[in-house]
Structure 1
Amino acid sequence: MSVPVVLLHAFPYSPAMWAGQLEAVKGHPVLSPDILGFESLESAAAHVLVEMDNLGWQKAVFVGLSMGGYVIFRLWNLEPERFAGMVLADTRATPDTPEAARSRLEQAERIRLEGMQFFPEATLKGHLGVTTHACRPELVARVRQAQLEADPSRVARSLEALAARPDSVPLLSSISVPALVLVGEEDTLTPPADARQMAAQIPDSRMLILPEAGHLSNLENPKAFNTALRGFLAELY
């Protein structure tokens, strides 16, 4: 059997964001757990492991984008023996700065009071790259709609979990499986410089910068993302 693949989505989206990657992982058993709304990233990671256990999976290649990458670090911290490899996309190992954490907590409070209506205006500029904003209005509209459809109480809980996440930098040198680091060239939230720094500390890693993509690189340049993912999986097995 081909190695299973676990797809871990970004905040505040759902597993539906991986629809464009299903072709790239064809032939592999796939799990796309919903990791939004947990009170800590450790809880989200524990949920992923339970879902794997329910399927009888011992190991998997974990693919995480943004918040999904943060959960990968918690999974590595909990049960590194479950990894056959990892893909860290548009994410970082460092914790929030005090300012960023404060901003998340303020957003969580506002969402509990007002719901999600204000959120796209506050975040879409950073979630998508300049090329997408300039040339792909349909994708901007789709991402805006995905945000508006997210459950406000779960989004608020995830914001608090993200604000409290630990520093994962000390884990990087212990990662003993092949790792692929992907980042959109226009990602301003977790920019290529951060990805380069992270990749430099993971022993068996390679890094690719995806053109004309921002923070949601799998949606913005699915062709480049899927080619990289397919190639990585083929190298592993």
Structure 2
Amino acid sequence: MSANFANRPRPRSPPELLLLHALPLDGSMWAEQMHLLPGATHAPTLYSSGETIDVWARAALEPLTGGNIIVVGCSVSGSCALEIATIAPERVSALVLIGTKAKHHPDPTFHASALRLIGEEGLEVAWESYWAPLFSRATSAATINRAKEMALRSSAAEIARGVTVFHTRPSRDHCLTTFPGPITIVSGADDVAPGPRASTSQAASTVNGRVHVLPACGHYVPLERPLALNAILRDVIASQDRA
């Protein structure tokens, strides 16, 4: 009798939601998603953690205690989500990757020029050069201005650190093909980094994946189409509750 009991699968802990911010934003970009799992939703700001995606991943994972973590990452933090799945695959039950490119080709010249622009011209110029163009033309000025205000709350040193994390991250495309849990890939139809075509191709390479392409939306889905994203996340949460 005890042997039969010992062979039963252990019950899975309740799901936790880990929301990882895009560059150059912070954890507050997830304001419209914080209610999805009350008391079990975490949205850290990672700039102070260090200058590699590995230390970001470990810092984001540290406060969580369970083994049923749904990790959601946007842009560079989609890469952070893949890093967490690489570090602690037994604790990650599902991935949601928004505007994420798993494969990375380093560009040291672009990296150096971005750091130089931030250091010499300031964050506002960098915002207009690198990040404002990633929004859809259909996105309201109010949403874009709110994102800009959020970005400018960080220091130039913090954003430069995030730029370094972005440019030095390793490729994690193998994680797409080996992670056994569900991977949901989300792209704005108007996103150019990496965009719907690359997102669809990445979803096709997964073991258990699906893709959502949201119309009238650019790179920053949680801000541009929060209601549509919430519906997707509710489905992912429900699937882990059932599991």
TM-score (norm: length of structure 2): 0.88
User: What's the secondary structure of 1:131's corresponding residue?
Assistant: coil
1:26 equivalent in alignment to 2:33:
no
Deviations 1:162-216 (A, max 9, x none): 1111111122211111111111111011201111111111111111111111000
User: What's the secondary structure of 1:147's corresponding residue?
Assistant: helix
Preserved CA contact (<8 Å) 1:33 1:51: no
Per the TM alignment, residue 15 of structure 1 is displaced from its structure 2 partner at its CA by 0.3
Preserved CA contact (<8 Å) 1:196 1:207: yes
Residues 96 and 131 (structure 1 numbering): CA distance in 2 closer, same or farther, change over 3 Å? farther
- When Rg is computed on C-alpha atoms for both structures, the one with the higher figure is 2
1:94 equivalent in alignment to 2:103:
yes
Residue of structure 2 equivalent to 1:47: 59
Residue of structure 1 equivalent to 2:117: 110
User: What's the secondary structure of 2:178's corresponding residue?
Assistant: coil
Match of residue 29, structure 2, among 3, 14, 17: 17
Residue of structure 2 equivalent to 1:225: 229
**Equivalents in 2 of 1:145, 1:193: separation in Å?**
31
Match of residue 66, structure 1, among 75, 78, 82: 75
1:184 equivalent in alignment to 2:191:
no
Per the TM alignment, residue 60 of structure 1 is displaced from its structure 2 partner at its CA by 0.7
User: What's the secondary structure of 1:85's corresponding residue?
Assistant: strand
> Which stretch has the larger CA shift, 160-169 or 108-117?
108-117
The alignment's C-alpha RMSD in Å is 1.6
User: What's the secondary structure of 1:206's corresponding residue?
Assistant: strand
Residues 8 and 80 (structure 1 numbering): CA distance in 2 closer, same or farther, change over 3 Å? same
**Equivalents in 2 of 1:2, 1:49: separation in Å?**
16
Residue of structure 2 equivalent to 1:173: 177
User: What's the secondary structure of 1:76's corresponding residue?
Assistant: helix
Residue of structure 1 equivalent to 2:240: 236
TM-score (norm: length of structure 1): 0.90
Residue of structure 1 equivalent to 2:88: 79
1:162 equivalent in alignment to 2:166:
yes
Per the TM alignment, residue 122 of structure 1 is displaced from its structure 2 partner at its CA by 0.4
Preserved CA contact (<8 Å) 1:96 1:165: no
Q: Percent identity?
A: 24
Preserved CA contact (<8 Å) 2:134 2:218: yes
Per the TM alignment, residue 39 of structure 1 is displaced from its structure 2 partner at its CA by 0.7
**Equivalents in 1 of 2:54, 2:106: separation in Å?**
20
User: What's the secondary structure of 2:213's corresponding residue?
Assistant: strand
Per the TM alignment, residue 19 of structure 1 is displaced from its structure 2 partner at its CA by 0.1
User: What's the secondary structure of 2:123's corresponding residue?
Assistant: coil
Structure 2 segments unaligned to the other structure (5+ residues): 1-12
> Which letter does structure 1 place at the counterpart of 2:209?
S
How many equivalent residue pairs?
A: 228
> Which letter does structure 2 place at the counterpart of 1:187?
D
Structure 1 segments unaligned to the other structure (5+ residues): none
Per the TM alignment, residue 97 of structure 1 is displaced from its structure 2 partner at its CA by 5.0
Per the TM alignment, residue 78 of structure 1 is displaced from its structure 2 partner at its CA by 1.2
User: What's the secondary structure of 2:211's corresponding residue?
Assistant: strand
Runs of 4+ displaced beyond 6 Å: none
**Equivalents in 1 of 2:57, 2:124: separation in Å?**
29
**Equivalents in 1 of 2:105, 2:162: separation in Å?**
14
